[in-house]
């Protein structure tokens, strides 16, 4: 099929669930070969099965994005198998697990090891991916349309406004910031880097379960928070990631685009 990513080789992290799975399917439908990456085997194997069931191409890779050597080896494996890399989508992240009794923990109740874990995955994982991709992009040079390679990150509206816990928000604020700074650094190479900033999405994140007994209640809460009145559909964010990964956004770099129904735009008077 001819699509927005026809012939492109894309790595997508956190591809075993939620937004990463949605992006894997959408990128593949638009012609990309998707190297689907996750720390969990069952999810990423299922994502590849779903992509292939639609007649598209993908491969499954196990990798902890917080492990720099493992990320370097991942990029080398994909390039060895597919010949090049065009797109890296840094989507994997973790959050502080809510306490079963207290719910979301405040800063003083959150163990320091959680700060270390979130920094390692949410910031370190993005930096590891960016380094490995930029090295590969630099080695292979620009494509026939002048692109030096594309990086998309998943940040969050928690990186733009106060939302979702201090430590998580701090890590996502770092992704927003590094997206801007790195975009300037690598622009002379023709490499673009942008982020999507989702609002709430009903995935397996933070102990949620899209098929669980609380799913309808969570969806209703998301609709109430969202000025457009939508629930958090991962496909909406994956479609913006598709735009940022494609040549449609050839003159866009260093941006952090909210995909939140207007939640981060200001205070809603909606009842
Ligand atoms: N769900 C939301 O409400 C929401 C809101 C804003 C931003 N986000 C962001 O969206 C992205 C995707 O989250 P989701 O909602 O699809 O969550 P999810 O939990 O459904 O999927 C995340 C995937 O990342 C994988 N992962 C976790 N740690 C990893 C690691 N160290 N290495 C490799 N893979 C790892 C998990 O195994 C999982 O398959 C994350 O960056 C998250 O911060 C989510």
In a domain, 266, yes or no: no
- Give the domain range for residue 24: 9-260
pLDDT of residue 206: 86
Inside any domain, residue 80: yes
Nearest to 164 by CA among 107, 111, 123: 107
Ligand 1 pocket: which of 68, 92, 257, 261 to mutate (most atoms <8 Å of CB)?
Answer: 92
**Domain tally, the chain:** 1
Q: Cα separation of 95 and 4, whole Å?
A: 32
- Residue 202 neighbours by CB distance under 10 Å: 22
CATH of the domain at 202: 3.40.50.720
Q: What is the pLDDT of residue 1?
A: 46
List the residue whose alpha carbon is closest to atom 21 of ligand 1: 17
What local confidence, expressed as pLDDT, does residue 103 receive?
84
Residue-wise pLDDT tens digits, 25-62: 999 999 999 999 999 999 999 999 999 999 999 999 99
Q: How far is the CA of 91 from the centre of ligand 1 (A)?
A: 7
Q: DSSP secondary-structure letter at 51? A: H
Per the prediction, the chain carries an average pLDDT of 95
The sheet that has 9-13: what strands, in order across it? 58-62, 33-38, 9-13, 87-90, 150-154, 192-198, 256-259
Beta strands per DSSP E along the chain: 9-13, 33-38, 58-62, 87-90, 150-154, 192-198, 256-259
pTM of the model: 0.97
Best mutation site among 62, 91, 93 for ligand 1 pocket (most ligand atoms within 8 Å of CB): 93
Q: With beta carbons less than 8 A apart as the criterion, state whether 29 and 108 touch.
A: no
* Assigned domain for 267 exists: no
Establish if 265 belongs to a structural domain: no
Nearest ligand 1 atom to the CA of 206 is 19
- Is 49 inside a domain boundary? yes
Domain contains 1: no
> Is the C-beta atom of 66 inside 6 A of ligand 1?
yes
Q: Is 163 a catalytic residue?
A: no
Q: Which residue numbers in the chain have pLDDT < 50?
A: 1
């Amino acid at each position: 099929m001819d699509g927005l990513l026809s012939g492109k080789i894309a790595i997508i992290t956190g591809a075993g669930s939620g937004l990463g799975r949605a992006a894997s399917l959408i990128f593949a439908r638009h012609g990309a070969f998707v190297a689907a990456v996750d720390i969990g085997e069952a999810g990423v194997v299922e994502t590849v099965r779903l992509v292939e069931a639609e007649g598209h191409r993908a491969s499954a890779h196990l990798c902890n994005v917080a492990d720099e050597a493992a990320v370097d080896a991942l990029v080398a494996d994909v390039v060895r198998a597919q010949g090049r890399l065009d797109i890296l989508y840094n989507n994997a992240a973790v959050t502080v697990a809510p306490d079963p009794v207290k719910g979301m923990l405040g800063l003083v109740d959150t163990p320091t090891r959680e700060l270390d874990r979130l920094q390692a995955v949410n910031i370190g994982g993005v930096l590891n991916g960016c380094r490995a991709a930029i090295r590969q992009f630099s080695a292979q040079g620009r494509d026939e349309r002048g692109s030096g390679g594309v990086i998309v990150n998943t940040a969050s509206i928690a990186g733009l406004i106060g939302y979702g816990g201090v430590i998580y928000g701090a890590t996502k604020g770092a992704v927003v910031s590094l997206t801007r700074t790195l975009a300037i650094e690598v622009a002379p190479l023709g490499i673009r880097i942008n982020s999507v900033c989702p609002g709430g999405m009903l995935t397996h994140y933070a102990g949620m379960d899209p098929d669980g007994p609380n799913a309808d209640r969570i969806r209703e809460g998301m609709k109430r928070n969202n000025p457009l009145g939508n629930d958090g559909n991962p496909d909406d964010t994956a479609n913006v990631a598709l735009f940022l990964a494609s040549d449609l956004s050839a003159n866009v770099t260093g941006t952090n685009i909210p995909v939140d129904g207007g939640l981060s735009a200001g205070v809603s008077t909606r009842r």
